[in-house]
């Protein structure tokens, strides 16, 4: 499985990779998937359910990281011709919110797999807004295989 430099999924194709449905979808486009890293884009729109004072909430940023992980993992399962398992956030650690993106901002999120033991993955997520980091955290994810 190599790096892909084009759009892997968006719209309905993206919904095949994640369990969330509008209005809880916090990613727009899956850009890149390789063995240990996933990358997505997300545009903050005024109809977003997780806005606070016209800015994406902390919960929205955390969900963006989790969904980036889910989409990348889902794509890996599809490439292996396996059913996509349901995943759950087990823990969020070392969360830092540098700023809350506003309506109209486009976020790029990169999730890097740091550990995997059986059905538990630990990832580091970084959300950027232009050239600034908006948020970062470590997240423990459980897959129900």
- Per residue in 43-69, pLDDT (tens digit) is 999 999 999 999 999 999 999 999 999
Q: What's the whole-number mean pLDDT along residues 10-26?
A: 95
**Residue 118: Cβ-neighbour burial (10 angstroms; 0-12, 13-18, 19+):** exposed
What local confidence, expressed as pLDDT, does residue 6 receive?
A: 82
Q: Residues 90, 132: contact at Cβ < 8 Å?
A: no
**Mean of pLDDT values over 104-129:** 97
**Among the four given CATH numbers 3.10.129.10, 2.60.40.650, 3.40.50.300, 3.30.1950.10, the one describing domain 9-144:** 3.10.129.10
pTM above 0.75, yes or no: yes
pLDDT confidence bin for 23, thresholds 50/70/90 = very high
Rounded average pLDDT over 118-134: 97
């Amino acid at each position: 499985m190599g790096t892909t430099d084009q759009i892997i999924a968006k719209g309905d194709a993206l919904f095949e990779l994640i369990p969330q449905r509008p209005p809880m979808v916090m990613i727009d486009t899956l850009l890149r998937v390789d063995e240990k890293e996933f990358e997505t884009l997300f545009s903050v729109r005024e109809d977003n359910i997780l806005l606070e004072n016209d800015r994406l909430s902390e919960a929205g940023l955390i969900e963006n990281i989790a969904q980036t992980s889910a989409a990348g993992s889902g794509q890996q399962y599809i490439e292996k011709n396996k059913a996509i398992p349901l995943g759950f956030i087990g823990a969020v650690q070392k969360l830092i919110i540098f700023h809350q993106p506003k309506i109209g901002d486009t976020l790029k999120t990169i999730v890097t797999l740091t550990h995997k033991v059986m059905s538990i993955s630990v990832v580091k997520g970084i959300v950027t807004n232009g050239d600034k980091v908006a948020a970062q955290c470590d997240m423990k994810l459980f897959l129900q295989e």
